[in-house]
Structure 1
Amino acid sequence: MLDILKAQYAMVQSARIALLNYCATVSEADFVKPLPEFVDKSMRDLLLHVANTYRSWLGRIAQGQPYPLHEPDAVPDVATLRELFQEIDGLVASFCAAIDEDDWQLAEDITVASLDRPLRLTPLELFMHIITHEFHHKGQVLTMSRQLGYTPVDTDVIRF
């Protein structure tokens, strides 16, 4: 099963590269422009939120590591986001390496600081949560770009 999850993450990375390549064509001013329809968040803000979510769920919560979350001002452009997502790729690799082949569906109580009770989750659920979370916000980033007057490109896993 581990090989399948690694292959699945490789597809996520490919879709992410397509998205970041597209974002690099957006003007820097538009990339960081807050949009009222998205609670005054920018395209950059949502992508940073995605990276921070990986750091929080897979780094802090699942592995108990002190992964700091990044603030928007520390990530001014697409190039910096690319570097951050390279770190995320390493984080995903370390998360996968820490799980035994037979334990992907073994539920454990996970402590989340903002909750008054532990969550009972499997590593597979954590993995799926962050991936679906990324794709949800990827769609929002493309919608934001359309609102700013751009024509989004295909960033799906299967692109034509």
Structure 2
Amino acid sequence: MPMADLFPHAPQYALVHSARGALLDYCATLRPADLLAPVPAFNHSSMRDLLVHVARTYQYWLGQVGLQRPGPLPYPPDAPDLAALRGLFAAVDALVDEFGAHVAGRWLEEAPYALPPAGRPLPLTPLQLFTHVITHEFHHKGQVLSMSRQLGYTPIDTDVIRT
């Protein structure tokens, strides 16, 4: 069965993936030290820290909550460079595919999802989980670009529709 049948939102995630690719390609043009540099206006977090946070959010909401699969979540030291960040997002891509296959045909069915570690159930649909992680990513993508501007770079267009 084609992935679009299992995961009708696969074309939408392809757009997210493309926008993320533009951001990561832009990050490859930055000095590696600047990717890790704390930015005071962002609570002394770095661009790398925010990107790891994005990957961690996918792993928490889709992996731990959506698939009920416990496991370690990444932390910034787990991604010392852009290659490691790309690896984290390759794992995110695989997780999105797995989640899509798991919820195939049930995107709008509300179910009580247990939130680790306490296990408190929250009524959600798979579509809500998926929408949450992709909108969260775009929120932080904008922050990463703003951080780069504060470090003296001129950000590029990383929107889904790039001109």
Normalising by the residue count of structure 1, what TM-score does the alignment of the two structures yield? 0.94
- Fraction of identical pairs, as percent: 55
1:113, distance to aligned residue in structure 2 (A): 3.1
Q: Check the 8 A contact 2:53/2:75 in 1, yes or no.
A: no
SS in 2 for 1:68: coil
1:93, distance to aligned residue in structure 2 (A): 0.2
Asked if 1:105 is matched to 2:121, the reply is: no
Give CA-to-partner distance per residue, 1:96-144, whole Å, 9 cap, x none: 000132x111001111136684211000000000000000000000000
Partner letter of residue 110 of structure 1? Y
Count, aligned residues: 159
Which residue matches 2:137? 134
SS in 1 for 2:112: strand
Q: Check the 8 A contact 2:108/2:125 in 1, yes or no.
A: yes
CA distance in 1, matches of 2:72, 2:117: 16
Aligned 1:1-160 pairs, distance under 5 A: 4-101=8-105, 103-113=106-116, 117-160=120-163
SS in 1 for 2:9: helix
Partner letter of residue 111 of structure 2? E
Unaligned runs of 5+ in 1: none
CA distance in 1, matches of 2:137, 2:119: 26
Return 129-138 or 65-74, whichever deviates more: 65-74
1:20, distance to aligned residue in structure 2 (A): 0.1
Partner letter of residue 37 of structure 1? A
CA distance in 1, matches of 2:121, 2:69: 18
Indicate how the Cα distance of structure 1 residues 37 and 150 shifts in structure 2: closer, same or farther if over 3 A, else same: same
Give CA-to-partner distance per residue, 1:7-64, whole Å, 9 cap, x none: 0000000000000000011111110011121111100000000000001011111111
CA distance in 2, matches of 1:73, 1:117: 30
Indicate how the Cα distance of structure 1 residues 76 and 118 shifts in structure 2: closer, same or farther if over 3 A, else same: same
SS in 2 for 1:118: strand
SS in 2 for 1:111: strand
The two structures, once aligned, show a CA RMSD in angstroms of 1.5
Give CA-to-partner distance per residue, 1:55-91, whole Å, 9 cap, x none: 1011111111123111211201111111111111000
